[in-house]
């Protein structure tokens, strides 16, 4: 069997291209004709192309990651192309030739091949769960069934842009505190490993009794210097065990629950998840997805398994015949103000609009909290730096002052 690259036209007269395995060029032409493709050119793929493909596969395996920016750009381009009436297969092939990410290029080529074989776009997307989540696949599925595929791509692009902005805001708000805490940690390590041992020799040369603060610092420094390998190994082991525990179903759920209780940032995480739930559920309902199926989709798209279980419980309540507002109240997720908004939306038949309003409400709160996060953390940073300076003053400078006084006296 050999690889043959071909170019031809399908039953709709659209130009298609790809690679097919066959014994000879004639057999390749027969297979293409059986698939409804009229071949124009058939050429045996060169060995250099195979070697290039092999090196590309290695590169893809090493860097299997598609950024949210690339996914937004893909959604925007697909919206423009489908709205302009460009066939999906041709749009996929064209985008595959323009993207720079090898994994995205490989994914788009695979999608185009599946479409040429007659698969639906949503089922083709489902074969790439690392790239397209359940929400993306469901939205495309709805767009296919309603004839509004371009609008589905537009909504997903808008949704991903909001996600990107939220992630950007969180990183900006936490960057300064993280740098400060890392600097404090590095300073403490340097003091323990290098500064204190040097002062220890000075203190020993002058003799005399040292204050208990200094003795405590020297004891900690000696332990760090003597057992640094055990400390480092313990930290690495703790990280590995924590990572494995978090990968388990029980551990992941427990960690997602504890994250919401962190001081200062826990409430922000909670509002981000609620805003994501409201925004996602609003998009799903506007697309015409039944409420039970919509809750099932959103439960996996909120990014938190603890909240996801609450959303799944809401679905079970609706299946039992309870109202949406009643199940939302039992889930104990929303503030009283948002519950009133949802109740009004259910009474007027505009739950999707009220969910969109609730999403905007939560997103405004998150933006406000993130702007004030730095000012809220500053007192903690000042106390931490002050404690470090106090330890240095009591443990290092105090005995130096006493030695200076003794020598001068």
Find out whether 138 and 289 touch, Cβ atoms under 8 Å.
yes
Instruction: Find, among 22, 21, 20, the residue nearest to 7 by Cα.
Output: 20
**CB neighbours of 181 closer than 8 A, spacing ≥ 6?**
381, 384
Encode pLDDT of 323-349 as tens digits. 888 888 888 888 787 888 888 888 888
Which one-letter DSSP state was computed for residue 330? H
The pLDDT score that the predictor gives to residue 60 is: 46
Mean pLDDT of 244-266: 87
Mean pLDDT of 272-300: 82
**CB neighbours of 28 closer than 8 A, spacing ≥ 6?**
4, 6, 20, 22, 39, 42
The pLDDT score that the predictor gives to residue 283 is: 82
pLDDT bucket at 409, cuts 50 / 70 / 90: low
**What residues does each domain of the chain span?**
2-45, 65-132, 133-409
Architecture of the domain spanning 65-132 = Up-down Bundle (1.20)
Stated pTM of the model: 0.66
C-alpha span between 169 and 153 (Å, rounded) = 24
Encode pLDDT of 343-371 as tens digits. 888 888 888 888 888 888 888 888 888 87
Find out whether 306 and 257 touch, Cβ atoms under 8 Å.
yes
Mean pLDDT of 281-305: 81
Mean pLDDT of 166-189: 81
Instruction: Find, among 213, 215, 220, the residue nearest to 193 by Cα.
Output: 220
Residue-averaged pLDDT of the chain: 80
**CB neighbours of 207 closer than 8 A, spacing ≥ 6?**
none
Provide, rounded to the nearest whole percent, the portion of the chain with pLDDT above 70: 85
51 pLDDT higher than 50: no
The pLDDT score that the predictor gives to residue 404 is: 65
408 pLDDT higher than 70: no
Find out whether 132 and 301 touch, Cβ atoms under 8 Å.
no
Find out whether 67 and 56 touch, Cβ atoms under 8 Å.
no
237 pLDDT higher than 80: yes
**Domain covering 133-409 in this structure, CATH number:** 1.20.81.30
Query: Residue 101 to residues 63, 65, 91, 337: CA-CA distances in angstroms?
Result: 9, 9, 17, 44
Phi-psi region at 307: left, alpha or beta (left = phi > 0; alpha = psi -120 to 50): alpha
Please name the residue that has the structure tokens 């200094």.
214
């Amino acid at each position: 069997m050999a690889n043959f690259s071909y170019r031809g036209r399908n039953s709709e007269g659209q130009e298609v291209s790809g690679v097919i395995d066959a014994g000879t060029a004639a057999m390749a032409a027969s297979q293409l004709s059986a698939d409804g493709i009229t071949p124009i050119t058939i050429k045996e793929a060169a060995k250099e192309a195979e070697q290039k493909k092999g090196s590309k596969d290695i590169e893809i395996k090493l860097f299997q990651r598609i950024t949210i920016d690339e996914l937004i750009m893909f959604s925007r381009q697909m919206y423009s192309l489908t709205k302009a009436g460009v066939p999906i297969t041709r749009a996929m092939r064209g985008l595959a030739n323009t993207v720079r990410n090898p994994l995205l290029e490989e994914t788009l080529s695979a999608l185009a091949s599946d479409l040429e074989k007659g698969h639906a776009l949503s089922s083709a997307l489902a074969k790439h769960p690392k790239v397209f989540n359940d929400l993306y696949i469901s939205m495309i599925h709805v767009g296919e069934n309603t004839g509004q595929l371009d609008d589905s791509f537009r909504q997903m692009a808008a949704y991903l842009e909001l996600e990107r902005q939220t992630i950007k805001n969180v990183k900006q708000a936490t960057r300064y505190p993280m740098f400060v805490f890392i600097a404090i940690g590095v300073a403490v390590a340097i003091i323990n490993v290098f500064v204190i041992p040097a002062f220890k020799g000075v203190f020993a040369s002058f003799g005399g009794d040292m204050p208990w603060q200094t003795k405590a610092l020297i004891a900690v420094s000696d332990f760090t210097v003597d057992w640094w390998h055990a400390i480092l190994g313990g930290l690495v082991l703790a990280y590995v065990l924590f990572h494995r525990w978090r990968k388990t179903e029980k551990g992941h759920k427990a960690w997602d629950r504890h994250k919401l209780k962190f001081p200062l940032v826990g409430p922000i995480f909670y509002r981000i998840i609620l805003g994501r739930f409201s925004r996602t559920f609003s998009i799903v309902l506007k697309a015409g997805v039944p409420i039970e199926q919509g809750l099932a989709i959103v439960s996996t798209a909120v990014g938190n398994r603890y909240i996801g279980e609450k959303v799944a419980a809401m679905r079970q309540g609706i299946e039992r015949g309870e109202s949406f507002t009643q199940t939302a109240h039992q889930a104990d997720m929303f503030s009283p103000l948002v519950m009133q908004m949802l109740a009004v939306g259910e009474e007027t038949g505009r739950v999707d609009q009220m969910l969109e309003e609730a999403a905007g409400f939560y997103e405004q709160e998150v933006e406000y909290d993130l702007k004030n996060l730095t000012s809220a953390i500053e007192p903690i940073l000042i106390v931490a730096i002050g404690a470090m300076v106090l330890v240095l003053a009591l443990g290092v400078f105090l005995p130096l002052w006493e030695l200076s006084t003794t020598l001068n006296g």
